[in-house]
Chain A
Amino acid sequence: MADVNKRQKIDQDSGGEVGPLGSAEPEIYVQEAMPSYYAKLFPHQHMAKWLAYGNDGKHAQADSHFFNRREFCFTLDGDIFVRYQAFKDGTALQEAIQRRCPAKIDIGPVYTANPQDRHKFGASFQPTERELVFDIDLTDYDDVRTCGSGGHICGKCWPLMAVAVKIIDAGLRNDFGFKHILWVYSGRRGVHCWVCDPSARQLTDEQRAAVANWFALYKGHEEGKARIAFLGGGAMHPAVDRAVEVLHTAWVETILPAQRLLEDGPKCEALLRYLPEQTLVENIKKKWASRSVISRTDQDINLVRWGVLEAEVNSRLTEERSRSKGAGSYKVVGPLERCIPEIIIAHAYPRLDMEVSKKMNHLLKAPFCVHPKTGKVCVPLDPTRVDEFDPDDVPTVGSLLRELAAAKNGGGKGDSSAVVEADGGGRKAEPWRETKMANAVQIFERCLLDDLVITNRDELTERTRVAVAIGQLNLDF
């Protein structure tokens, strides 16, 4: 009973915000479209296949109650939260979604028992499994973006998300060895990441916090500057090094010119504060004002100015180093060496929402949900093509329904039956395949599901092997 009215932290921003022309719909329309969306567009089978993790088959080691122990949270129209929803299998989940048409679906952990029976177990009702998740939100970058703030997102600030995806994706794969990583557009102004490896799902809260901290460099603001958590004792951690390399490219290619951070204004002043010497700042400003710089037309002014800044810092470094036998006084050289990476990191390094990642029981919005304010679908992203993603061109529930109608009218292939058969019948009975949803689902398959299926099979085989071994050794646990 308490669940219905339990409030989770809702993002409070100016309601009824309309994005760039046409790509967002008024809230009321979105909610009305949900029944059709869930009936014809939402990829129920794929979601069920994902979340079953191989336990939905007839394998002897398959845990037939696994799916039932997963918590779902529905947000119904009118901001009514209904937690601890659980379903026997994908079909039951689909029925419930189609019946209740939630405005938002959150996915929680897999518990020790069916969440609906939790009161019977008291303290022994605990989460046992849960994907490792990350949430990156452009609102956290408001201090370093000039194109907008709050729920705003556009092609100029999307590069910040893109570079975050690239860095974290590379880190998860190379440093931690994870393989099954799904990136999802969060529907308005950020991205979510779901790490679905079996080892990732079993991580404790402490280990999740460790991963989040591994990626955390930005530790809040201090005196108008971001505090970067690296000690910089003459070298940076190799992982940070690699990240800075990726950042530097993105910085120069897209972020800096797009955000116009070095054009005169408060952001530029803030940036200059990272330089350790006042004389350095003055020299740079003087050079910026010089004729040769102003008259340049071949390059964006921000890049020109940045080039000057880098050159000045480097020449100062050389000067300082040659002072005393090539090394220079560390107290002076250190900050000079660090300031450029610091600037780039402070302005562009991924800023994770730590709270989301740390706890096993944190609820996170499911992929393929529709954002109630914008109507945009939370589509999966391909991390190798993240630069090409256009947040303004994301399919919305409206655009998809229009596509469906067009396909139906256009005669097209197969019957125009609007009902999706429970187990997906023939491909022709899945109308969403005629729309942009197909692309999204394809990404979902390519980035996550295809490989996951193989891993699931391996898992089951391993379980069999262990069971046999235990049986052979006659150990009783």
Chain B
Amino acid sequence: MQVLTSGKVGPAGFTPLAGAGAAAKASKDGDRMLTDLSMYTYPPSENITLEEFERLALARLSVLKDMEAFKLRHPNKSEKELMDKLKQLKQKHMKGLAGVSASNHEEEVRNDLISHYVLRLAYCRTAELRKWFLAQECDMFRLKFGTYNPAEHEAFLAAHAPQYRPVAEKELLEVMDDIVKVMKSNLETKETLMRAQQDKRFYKVSWTRVPELVAQRKVLLRGGWAYVSRDALAPLVVAEFRAGVSKGLSDMARRWRQMFPVEEEQRLQPLVASLTSRSLTADYSGVTTKYGDVSAANLHHLAVRHFPLCMSHLMGTLHSERHLRHGGRQQLGLFLKAIGLPMEEALLFWRSEFAPRTPSDQFDKQYAYNIRHNYGREGKRTDYTAHNCTTIVGFSGGLGDHHGCPYRRLDETSLRAALSRLHCDDGKVEEAVSKARDGHYQLACAAAFEGIHRVPELDVGISAPLQYYAESRRICTERDLTSAGTMAATGGAAEGTDIGEQPGGTAGAGGVGDQPGGRGIKRPASGLPGSLR
């Protein structure tokens, strides 16, 4: 009893006159690498360090996610602008990874290939992940392919998609009349007709690759070859790219077990699994040291000014109801820890908030242990990290729960009310509400941030409440310094005339941000205290 495994020779391998067999393809390695656009048909085969593995993947993920966010916020950008943004993002995230600052084309291509495949690993497991990854990659491919000129198209096709063969001039003369008839019979416009006739670049491909065109008689067929114009080519190539990546993803998902031999289970597998949920922004652990002034006393003040809506909403509810359910306590509690609230202060804070409804000994019995556990002082003593946006958006809750992402949970009226309470600019409130309606919760939060702090566009998206807080504090600190600096300057020369000394502005917290007020005045300006600024 014999079984044919799924490695059947599909039609793709059967272009009857294609010529190049499997052996020939593999030897095209050298040519393949030279174009910076790829169909990703062949996985990379080299050894790299775990570190590079991770770094490349995260870099590409940043590019994809930033590109997505950019497109969402600016739906009407032209192709050129999108392409520029893409280049910029690549520059930012993926250059200089190997420590090579000069743009080494081969390095780029290699990094591109490796990062694509690592992300395939990470994003192949569920249908939703696959769909997202596929969409982003296809968009990127389509964008890049669309900006190629004819010569580049030809080079790319010759290297990566040899199934599309350019039609030689002599042959074209024979078939041109028929091609024109085909286009006319499909009601193509005069412009398209003229463009095709002038462009004179046609490709032929095995009809099995374009069944949808054959079914509608949109192409000329001769001996099994379908003739397509260069314009018609792009969607076909993109479709093939999509099909290839999609198949690769499902194959990977199916063979997941085989991907990881036993020894990798502890090493690679968790790494890959974590890639999808990783926060892509910088680590915000420095926050606690930078803004080390968090205490139970000024929490409310901080909440109003610096907390993202999810946390300020929780704070508000906590304060009005003198109680929070478990989900809310966890979400807020971990956040407070992350921003630098010491454990003793935390205990104080929670106890006082709960006090009217919960007597002290009951508090100790029911809630104190949990708080201490969060800080790693009980049980297995894990240092829990605060949740990021993705996780928070995913929280589900019933009636009476206030955790989760308010842009998702709250109805529009409450949302508007909450945002205006935080003195958010009206226009931005509307923007946030509409973004929330469309399901782009993090973008809504970013819009709210812009509205509250009156800053122009936030370049980086919000991916964690901690990030929101850090940004908020940073901006406010900068602002304080600027205004303090101005004040210091106008406040007379008394402060800064000592040679060599840096006149500080008002005691800015730490050495953060610019110090515009701190001008090193080496010599006392003759007579002028510098007030004329």
Contact = CB atoms under 8 A, between A and B. Distances in A.
Interface of A: 65, 69, 112-114, 117, 121, 124, 128, 174-178, 197-199, 202-204, 206-207, 209-211, 213-214, 230-241, 465-466, 469-470, 472-473, 475, 477
B199 interface: no
Interface stretch (B105-113, B212-220, B361-369): B212-220
B181 A237 contact: yes
A113 B223 contact: no
Given A231-B186, A235-B184, 14 more contacts: A112-B4, A121-B3, A176-B223, A176-B224, A177-B16, A197-B16, A199-B11, A213-B217, A232-B185, A236-B185, A237-B185, A237-B186, A239-B217, A240-B217
A237 B182 contact: yes
A472 B24 CA distance: 12
B3 A465 contact: no
A202 B14 contact: yes
B223 A177 contact: yes
Contacts of A112: 3-4, 8
A112 B217 CA distance: 33
Nearest to B7: A477
Interface residues of B, number: 40
A209 B215 contact: yes
A210 B211 contact: yes
Contact of B3 (A113, A199, A203, A241): A113
B223 A202 contact: no
B4 A128 contact: yes
A235 B16 CA distance: 30
Q: Please give me the 3 A-B residue pairs with the lowest Cβ-Cβ distance, nearest first.
A: A177-B224, A210-B211, A469-B23
A175 B222 contact: yes
Contacts of B3: 112-113, 121, 124
Contacts of B211: 204, 206-207, 209-210
A209 B211 CA distance: 8
Given A65-B2, A113-B1, A466-B21, A214 B9 contact: no
B34 interface: no
Interface string B173-189: 00000101110111110
Interface string B29-54: 00000000000000000000000000
A83 B173 CA distance: 53
Given A207-B208, A473-B26, A214 B215 contact: yes
A471 B330 CA distance: 60
B27 to A, nearest CB: 9
Contacts of A69: 4
Nearest to B27: A473
B272 interface: no
Nearest to A201: B14
Most buried by A among B9, B178, B215, B217: B217
B22 A470 contact: yes
B220 A238 contact: yes
Contacts of B223: 174-177
A198 B14 contact: yes
Most buried by A among B1, B26, B178: B1
Interface of B: 1-4, 6-11, 14, 16-17, 21-23, 26, 178, 180-182, 184-188, 207-208, 211-212, 214-217, 220-225
Contact of A202 (B6, B10, B207, B217): B10
A470 B26 CA distance: 11
B181 A235 contact: yes
B22 A199 contact: no
20 contacts: A65-B2, A69-B4, A175-B221, A175-B222, A175-B223, A177-B17, A177-B223, A204-B11, A204-B211, A207-B11, A207-B211, A210-B207, A213-B217, A233-B186, A233-B188, A238-B182, A239-B221, A466-B21, A475-B26, A477-B7
B186 to A, nearest CB: 7
Contacts of B216: 213
A213 B182 contact: no
Contacts of A128: 4, 8
Contacts of B182: 237-238
B221 A176 contact: yes
Nearest to A477: B7
Given A124-B6, A240-B185, A114 B1 contact: yes
Contact of B217 (A176, A233, A237, A473): A237
Nearest to B3: A113
A209 B16 CA distance: 19
A231 B215 contact: no
Contact of A235 (B4, B185, B224): B185
A237 B222 CA distance: 13
Contact of B185 (A65, A204, A211, A231): A231
Nearest to A120: B1
Nearest to B207: A176
Nearest to B218: A237
A415 B212 CA distance: 58
Contacts of A174: 222-223
Contacts of B181: 235-238, 241
Contacts of A232: 185
A475 B14 CA distance: 20
B129 to A, nearest CB: 23
Contacts of B2: 65, 113-114
Contacts of A236: 181, 185
Contacts of B9: 202
A124 B3 CA distance: 10
Contacts of A113: 1-4
A346 B182 CA distance: 21
A4 B505 CA distance: 95
A238 B207 contact: no
A124 B181 CA distance: 45
Nearest to B14: A199
Given A177-B224, A233-B185, A240-B185, A211 B14 contact: no
Contacts of A239: 217, 221
A91 to B, nearest CB: 19
Contacts of B4: 69, 112-113, 128
A112 B6 CA distance: 8
A201 B21 CA distance: 19
Contacts of B178: 238
Nearest to B220: A238
A466 B22 contact: yes
A177 B21 CA distance: 20
B232 to A, nearest CB: 15
Contacts of A203: 11, 208
A241 B11 CA distance: 29
A427 to B, nearest CB: 35
A117 B2 CA distance: 10
A116 B376 CA distance: 63
Contact of A211 (B6, B10, B214): B214
Given A114-B1, A117-B1, A128-B4, A234 B11 contact: no
B234 to A, nearest CB: 21
A237 B213 CA distance: 13
Given A117-B1, A239-B221, A469-B23, A213 B214 contact: yes
Nearest to B223: A177
Contacts of B8: 112, 128
Contact of A233 (B1, B187, B220): B187
Nearest to A64: B2
A473 B42 CA distance: 15
A203 B182 CA distance: 25
B141 to A, nearest CB: 23
A88 B381 CA distance: 68
A74 B347 CA distance: 82
Contacts of A117: 1
A455 to B, nearest CB: 11
